[in-house]
Structure 1
Amino acid sequence: MAEAHQAVAFQFTVTPDGIDLQLCHEALRQIYLSGLHSWKKRFIRFKNGVMTGVYPGSPGGFMVVVVSYMSYNKYNQLDPSLGLIAKLGQHIPISRYMSTDSQRIVGGVLVGTGLWVTIIMVMRNVLKCLLSWHGWMHAPHGSVSWSIRLWMLLVKVFSGRKPMLYSFQNSLPRLPVPTIKDTCRRHLESVRPLMDDEKYERMEGLTKDFEKNLGPRLQWYLKLKSWWASNYVSDWWEEYIYLRGRGPIMVNSNYYAMDFLYVFPTSIQAARAGNAIHAIMLYRRKLDRAQIKPIYLLANKIPLCSAQWEQMFNTSRVPGLETDTLQHMNDSKHIAVYHKGRFFKVWMFYDGRLLLPREIEQQMQRILDDQSEPLPGEEKLAALTAGERTPWAKARETYFARGKNKQSLDAIEKAAFCVTLDDTEQRYDADNPVKSLDSYAKSLLHGKCYDRWFDKTFNLIVFKNGTMGLNAEHSWADAPIIGHLWEHVLSLDPIKLGYTEEGHCCGEPHPNLPGPLKLSWDIPAECQEVIESSLTVARTLADDVDSHIFPFKDFGKGLIKKCRTSPDAFIQIALQLAQYRDKGKFCLTYEASMTRLFREGRTETVRSCTMETCAFVRAMIRDETVRLNICHGFLSSLSCPFQREERLRLLKVAAEKHQNMYRMAMTGEGIDRHLFCLYVVSKYLGEDSPFLKEVLSEPWRLSTSQTPMQQVELFDLVRHPEFVSSGGGFGPVADDGYGVSYIIVGENLINFHISSKHSSPETDSHRFGGNIRQAMLDILDLFQLDKKTK
């Protein structure tokens, strides 16, 4: 009752003597502090907007330029406006009332401002030109030429001082549009190892016809868009690949991130949630103040685009009949929490400040101790976000557009993010590593299909035993953005925030903190039927996921670098060898590469199944066949197996080819985003292209992605090797294919996340994991490092 009383600012009663007002000073104080907090945030955003808008200039630079200009003109007795004020005086009456000195001051300020703006624009455009050059990517590893050193020096000079997160946005170049000829040539090259001569000749004919006839017309419209829009790909990619999809986003689109692999900071669920939520809110505060450092490449010299950070918090995907939309709020002071079928609204601020970890633990414990039953339809309500999008859109419009249902739905969709206090236990178990990690991954990916709000940008999931993880929606940003947040949380949680000996958050509970608000619903039977229908669809999808996670501990990037090979190329070639051993054939392979060297860039595809990689794989398979025949007596033991030196040469050629393709994808010379945009233009024009239709319908039977470690300085894995992350993963892309995510952790560990579908007779995630491990060992064995060491 105390919380309800404090929620009312005043009460009044009408008596014969008049109106008696009873003010609640505590409530008025909270209103004042809330308003003060809001105005502070507005001022900070305004200030950051100014600083970012004038970057690489600064207000201090403005004062220097204006004062220096005026001092120079005063010393030389010159008119700082060069006669501009006198000319304006003929048209502006106010100049008649200004003294000569006043006119000199105003003129100096105006011309100095113009000079300052000119300097900023020159620096910004010079920096854009410098960042448009990507020759540094082709330099041999470990060597930097004088020309690159000079270029790096110029980039540093024109990059300004103390950049904030969004400082470089106006200086980043636009994503270039490749030529039709180059894209068609690269496409034919990418499909050659997957087709026999007859199929390839047919594809070559379709490609040449498109390149000569329809292609140039579509390209003209695409060029026009690239001149007008900030990025010719990203808006269409977000809309047509993500938001217009009508299938479930659970498993198909959403992905997950795991906790530490070996470290378990506390077994108290509420305490782990308290530290994690506080760390996330601290990250949001840094994001609001633009205090997060920009992400760089090449020794902190080359900035990447930061646009994807803008919608990380206070954002939800809202279903529509034909297309979804992203609803973003400028600010949100609460989070939404789900536990045992109930939804709660938890305020994150009190007394004008962010709640401390122990206070958040206090709120989480209140939710855990709440014994109330879910309202009818509430327990499985989130299944609407896990099923098909169109039924969810219709149900939202019909049953959640007004009244208490709308208010409660707003509390979820407008929350900073969502939290699930899961009632199951998940953790890496050294005695049963395979089963424990597989169960952990499936729980994060889909859970019970109704205990995560899949439409939110991300859900923090805290299990009963204190283990935690994230489930993230994909349309608003790519995995590295969530990865950056998660690295921040994991680095703060056990070390900087810490726990008491009993496992609680540090600090003391708040004696007067208002409790969480349980959301109220009135869900009719008709809506409950829609919920059950969505849940059936979601469970069918979730039950079909065959997930396998395994830490590869035999070696890591440290040993791979001794082979003078790119770790990513090494792993990708191993995946091709594993794929061939698994299915006896090659397939179209997707590897995600970022294009954030350009403004509003997202991803591009590296088609890592190349002619060079296939040649290496065939050499490995041929040698295995020869050795097998020798063992069975089919060939003479004098038969010479395929030479190790030749396989090693083929491996290095394949690795160099892969590195070159990765560079091309990063620098805007990829294939798939260009073809995708050409297809969108063709649909707008009502043109039917057999070439584009066939290319874009090709299934990615092997979809791969590397989870990057972006803030390695946060983790001292040399002194504390136990603080290694498990990384994250995603669901299978093709019904008969594999999804593989991997994270290179430190020097000696690579974690693999494999997914496929039980319903496919061609796939088995555990079998494929075994093939990956063997392929990694076989490729390393070619280098014979043990003999070289001896």
Structure 2
Amino acid sequence: MKKYERTLKPILTEPEHERVSKIIAEFGKPGGHGSKLQLYLESRREELDNWAHEYWLNDLYLDFREPIPINSNPGMVFPPRKFTTILDIARFVARLVDAALDYKDVLNRRALPVERATSREPGQPLCMDQFYRVLGASRLPGKKRDSQYVSPVPKADEQVSEHIIVICRSQLYCVAVQAGDRGRLNEDEICSQLLYILDDAPCLSNSPPIGLLTGWKRTLWAEAREDLMKEEMNRRNLDLITKSLLVVCLDESLPNTFNCRFQRGGKGHFTSNRDETNIAHQMLHGGGSTNNSANRWFDKTVQLVISGDGACGLCYEHSNADGIAVVQIMEKMWKHADSFTTSSELPTANTSHLPPPERLEWMLEATDHKRIEEAGIYLDNLIKDLDFQVYRYSGYGKEFMKSCKVSPDVYIQLALQLAYYRLYGKLTATYESASIRRYRSGRVDCIRAASPEALEWVKAMSQPKDDDESGNKKVTFHLVSDEKKIELWNTAVAVQTQEMIDNILGRGIDLHILGLREASKETSPVASSPLPKIFTDPSYRVANKFLLSTSQVATSSDSFMGYGPVESDGYGASYNPKSDQIIFCLSAFWSSEITSTSKFAQSLEESLNAMQCLLTRPT
């Protein structure tokens, strides 16, 4: 409760903070309501592997009713390939699938090595559960709450069957890649199956873009799915998709004019007319119903996206695993596929014995077609509203930050605070995911960067200059000296570092407060009983209105991951610190009157430059 009160201080007015402090004190006093709820959580801890996991999963994901593309599913962009023929595409995808089968075999044998913490009490084992929930997993829509499917662990010596779903031009195909009676397909055999699809799909027309339903509001998709399942053919199709190892999306490239309203963002490693931002849009949502959004099944944990122009990446459903697990698995698969030079030879093995991939056909009523149309319109409007850009800051990277004896994560979090303050003259509740895998079934808690110390530092950094642009002296008062700014910086760094350590060691406040709220619901004598005032006071909404939703997504390759904002007037800001640059994926909504990724990128650049000037000034 003391930490919570302190968290509220920089984002509330003084009268608001004084008022809520009394509410917090009343809730947390010995023998009070909070103490009783704490005892309930402690009893729950004794009964479950992880008392917080179900609360967190439902609150963050499964109870969410809005569409999951943009709002929940991240998109990941990998370095581009050079494809000259469809054989190049088929070969590359075949190698990715082959790598996925290798990895799934390790998972089936429960043989994944246990990782251990490398810092902050190093050596502690880290929970590997989410690694086992990536391949062969899916989210299922529910009218009130979604659920999850995870492929069961096979018994020892059990012959495992695996299949993938390939979507090309809105047509869905099932490809059996491993069967108990004839073993696993080799690369040539997988390649031949993909070539069949790449040849067959363009010849078909009027395929129902049924994948658009997965980008609709969750309750509406659940109702549509329920009606689809009344037909046995549809029910079998949906079951095949749910239980597939992964989905491969064979895309057309987006027009290079797509989302041309933004001005900033470099071309990065793309040499075609499409820049990184254009590619990232494709991975996030497909580009709309007239592009590739029907070429998705947004409920699948893994959707590999391969475009004919060489753009490659991933769209992934977030509820089963966090970025740290997905990135690690995907980079292994891409490394495997990249370890071969592109072969221009047709499959050499005799593949005539293989039946062709099964194209999934649907029995649809007029209401189903109407729903698909409505889902497409809704998703198109969401996509049109997305203000997204990839911004590479090239002034310096993590090597400079480390030379300042500051964690790159702490450094960038404070830079984000400064950038936000420069734009809005205040701080806001900031979410950064902290991995708590030191605990069984641990996923993430929230590192909060908007501290009172950060506020004092950004205020000092935002003082007006004592010279105007013409060099004339301006009359200003109470300018903060560089020495004082350094002092405030060191204090803010120390507080943010401790906040980060507290979270990864399980001493964050957000899961705990969520648990107290859910405990209050579960222990109320009647379902309609009001929650304690601490959860109904406006300050609780302010504390959890994350207008800055951030995450470090580090990669070993020149790849990056981005996502949408979680609030209508907020920003999404993922970052990937490299040795000499920082890759940011910034998102907002065009419909907001107060946000702009271009302005935020500009403020971020100015903030990072100002920080370097401060930390390298002559002493």
TM-score after normalising by structure 1: 0.70
Gaps of 5+ in 2: 153-159, 257-266
Change over 3 Å in CA distance of 1:411–1:577 after alignment to 2? same
Shift of residue 506, structure 1, vs aligned partner: 8.7
Change over 3 Å in CA distance of 1:332–1:756 after alignment to 2? farther
* Aligned residue in 1 for 2:156: none
- 1:470-520 CA deviation, whole Å, 9 max, x = no partner? 11111112111111111212222212x3323x4x69965734333211111
* Aligned residue in 2 for 1:363: 193
Shift of residue 528, structure 1, vs aligned partner: 0.9
Shift of residue 703, structure 1, vs aligned partner: 0.8
Change over 3 Å in CA distance of 1:327–1:431 after alignment to 2? closer
1:531 aligns to what SS in structure 2? Answer: helix
* Aligned residue in 1 for 2:279: 440
Q: 1:279 aligns with which of 99, 108, 113?
A: 99
Change over 3 Å in CA distance of 1:578–1:433 after alignment to 2? farther
1:768 aligns to what SS in structure 2? Answer: helix
Equivalent residues of 1:460, 1:469 under 8 A apart: yes
Structure with greater proportional helix content: 1
Q: Distance in 2 between matches of 1:631 and 1:691?
A: 52
Shift of residue 194, structure 1, vs aligned partner: 1.5
Change over 3 Å in CA distance of 1:294–1:433 after alignment to 2? farther
Q: Distance in 2 between matches of 1:769 and 1:662?
A: 24
2:550 is the counterpart of 1:704: yes
> What does 1:660-675 align with in structure 2 at a 5 Å threshold?
660-675=498-513
Shift of residue 435, structure 1, vs aligned partner: 6.4
2:426 aligns to what SS in structure 1? Answer: coil
2:561 is the counterpart of 1:737: no
* Aligned residue in 1 for 2:386: 545
Change over 3 Å in CA distance of 1:467–1:372 after alignment to 2? closer
Q: Distance in 2 between matches of 1:506 and 1:749?
A: 42
Equivalent residues of 1:565, 1:652 under 8 A apart: no
1:338 aligns to what SS in structure 2? Answer: strand
Equivalent residues of 1:434, 1:549 under 8 A apart: no
1:297 aligns to what SS in structure 2? Answer: coil
Shift of residue 402, structure 1, vs aligned partner: 3.2
Equivalent residues of 1:461, 1:471 under 8 A apart: yes
Shift of residue 271, structure 1, vs aligned partner: 2.5
Shift of residue 550, structure 1, vs aligned partner: 1.8
Shift of residue 620, structure 1, vs aligned partner: 0.9
Name which one, 1 or 2, has greater alpha-carbon Rg.
1
- 1:136-160 CA deviation, whole Å, 9 max, x = no partner? xxxxxxxxxxxxxxxxxxxxxxxxx
Q: Distance in 2 between matches of 1:400 and 1:598?
A: 39
2:275 aligns to what SS in structure 1? Answer: helix
Equivalent residues of 1:255, 1:472 under 8 A apart: yes
* Aligned residue in 2 for 1:242: 61
* Aligned residue in 2 for 1:129: none
1:370 aligns to what SS in structure 2? Answer: helix
2:370 is the counterpart of 1:529: yes
Shift of residue 387, structure 1, vs aligned partner: 0.6
Change over 3 Å in CA distance of 1:430–1:265 after alignment to 2? closer
Q: 2:25 aligns with which of 189, 204, 208?
A: 208
* Aligned residue in 1 for 2:143: 321
* Aligned residue in 1 for 2:244: 415
Q: 2:490 aligns with which of 652, 664, 672?
A: 652
* Aligned residue in 2 for 1:155: none
Residue 281 of structure 2 aligns with an amino acid whose one-letter code is K
Q: Distance in 1 between matches of 2:445 and 2:227?
A: 39
Q: Distance in 2 between matches of 1:646 and 1:490?
A: 48
1:551 aligns to what SS in structure 2? Answer: strand
Q: Distance in 2 between matches of 1:246 and 1:536?
A: 17
- 1:324-344 CA deviation, whole Å, 9 max, x = no partner? 111223365110111112110
Shift of residue 783, structure 1, vs aligned partner: 2.1
Equivalent residues of 2:192, 2:347 under 8 A apart: no
2:244 aligns to what SS in structure 1? Answer: coil
Q: Distance in 2 between matches of 1:613 and 1:507?
A: 62
- 1:713-757 CA deviation, whole Å, 9 max, x = no partner? xxxxxxxxxxx3221011111111111001123x22321111110
* Aligned residue in 1 for 2:602: 770
Q: Distance in 2 between matches of 1:433 and 1:744?
A: 25
Residue 763 of structure 1 aligns with an amino acid whose one-letter code is T
2:110 is the counterpart of 1:290: yes
2:574 is the counterpart of 1:693: no
* Aligned residue in 2 for 1:458: 302
- 1:87-107 CA deviation, whole Å, 9 max, x = no partner? xxxxxxxxxxxxxxxxxxxxx
- 1:156-196 CA deviation, whole Å, 9 max, x = no partner? xxxxxxxxxxxxxxxxxxxxxxxxxxxx1101111111122
Q: 1:342 aligns with which of 145, 167, 171?
A: 171
1:759 aligns to what SS in structure 2? Answer: coil
Shift of residue 309, structure 1, vs aligned partner: 2.0
Shift of residue 232, structure 1, vs aligned partner: 1.1
2:462 aligns to what SS in structure 1? Answer: helix
Change over 3 Å in CA distance of 1:434–1:618 after alignment to 2? farther
Q: 1:252 aligns with which of 71, 74, 78?
A: 71
Residue 204 of structure 1 aligns with an amino acid whose one-letter code is S
- 1:186-224 CA deviation, whole Å, 9 max, x = no partner? 011111111221111111122112213321121121111
Q: 1:613 aligns with which of 408, 431, 454?
A: 454
Equivalent residues of 1:606, 1:662 under 8 A apart: yes
- 1:337-382 CA deviation, whole Å, 9 max, x = no partner? 1111211001113784433333322222211111566676x43211
1:369 aligns to what SS in structure 2? Answer: helix
Gaps of 5+ in 1: 1-183, 713-723
Shift of residue 238, structure 1, vs aligned partner: 1.2
> What does 1:57-136 align with in structure 2 at a 5 Å threshold?
none
2:208 is the counterpart of 1:391: no
Q: Distance in 2 between matches of 1:279 and 1:425?
A: 27
- 1:15-43 CA deviation, whole Å, 9 max, x = no partner? xxxxxxxxxxxxxxxxxxxxxxxxxxxxx
* Aligned residue in 2 for 1:779: 611
Q: Distance in 2 between matches of 1:708 and 1:233?
A: 26
2:466 aligns to what SS in structure 1? Answer: helix
Change over 3 Å in CA distance of 1:290–1:431 after alignment to 2? closer
Equivalent residues of 1:438, 1:547 under 8 A apart: yes
1:615 aligns to what SS in structure 2? Answer: helix
Shift of residue 601, structure 1, vs aligned partner: 0.7
Equivalent residues of 1:339, 1:367 under 8 A apart: yes
- 1:609-636 CA deviation, whole Å, 9 max, x = no partner? 11111111111111x4434499454328
2:331 is the counterpart of 1:487: yes
Q: Distance in 2 between matches of 1:192 and 1:625?
A: 28
- 1:603-659 CA deviation, whole Å, 9 max, x = no partner? 11111011111111111111x4434499454328xx895322221221121111111
TM-score after normalising by structure 2: 0.88
2:166 aligns to what SS in structure 1? Answer: strand
> What does 1:516-665 align with in structure 2 at a 5 Å threshold?
516-622=357-463, 624-628=464-468, 631=471, 633-635=473-475, 642-665=480-503
The alignment's C-alpha RMSD in Å is: 2.5
Equivalent residues of 2:82, 2:309 under 8 A apart: no
Q: Distance in 2 between matches of 1:641 and 1:591?
A: 32
Q: Which moved more, 1:601-610 or 1:575-584?
A: 575-584
* Aligned residue in 1 for 2:9: 192
**Aligned residue pair count:** 581
* Identity level (%): 28
> What does 1:162-177 align with in structure 2 at a 5 Å threshold?
none
Change over 3 Å in CA distance of 1:224–1:620 after alignment to 2? same
Q: Distance in 1 between matches of 2:253 and 2:33?
A: 56
Shift of residue 430, structure 1, vs aligned partner: 5.8
Change over 3 Å in CA distance of 1:442–1:485 after alignment to 2? same
